[in-house]
Amino acid sequence: MTDISDLTLDLSQSVIISAAIGDVWKNLLQRLSADSATSDGQPMPLVLEEWPGGRWFRDLGSGQGHLWAFVQVIKPPTILELQGPMFMSYAVAGHIQFKLIQQTDGVELALRHRAMGMIEDEHRKGVVPGWQAILEHVKSRSET
């Protein structure tokens, strides 16, 4: 018998970034698109269309690629929500929220990734270091 926890993913992570909220927003969008890379640092051509209903997809050229998500909510510079399978090319529904919250010591960049479906163990294990690497990249780029 399958337990509901086997069919769901609920991950929350955040970092505090000592930078202006607009810079953090710009670097987040840049990391999710032009500066996207695999966990081993290889370039991964992602495109993020910055409007409600816009696509977030991996562009392999010549009309080929992978749809990762649709933009559900975009309110610069405080919130970006994406809905879709993300990097999981199988029957799964996912939602990710990036929230930028002004703090006295900078900006909190908070991420929440939730998904439901028959999530493969490789993806379940990889999301924690994968999203953390993205948050740390945004922090590093924003604080320079």
The label of the residue with tokens 């695999």 reads 38
pTM above 0.85, yes or no: yes
**pLDDT at residue 43 is higher than 90:** no
**pLDDT at residue 110 is higher than 70:** yes
Please report the pLDDT score of residue 1 as a whole number.
59
Confidence of residue 121 (pLDDT cuts 50, 70, 90): confident
Q: Are 114 and 85 in contact (CB under 8 A)?
A: no
Phi, psi of 40 (to 5 degrees): -95, 15
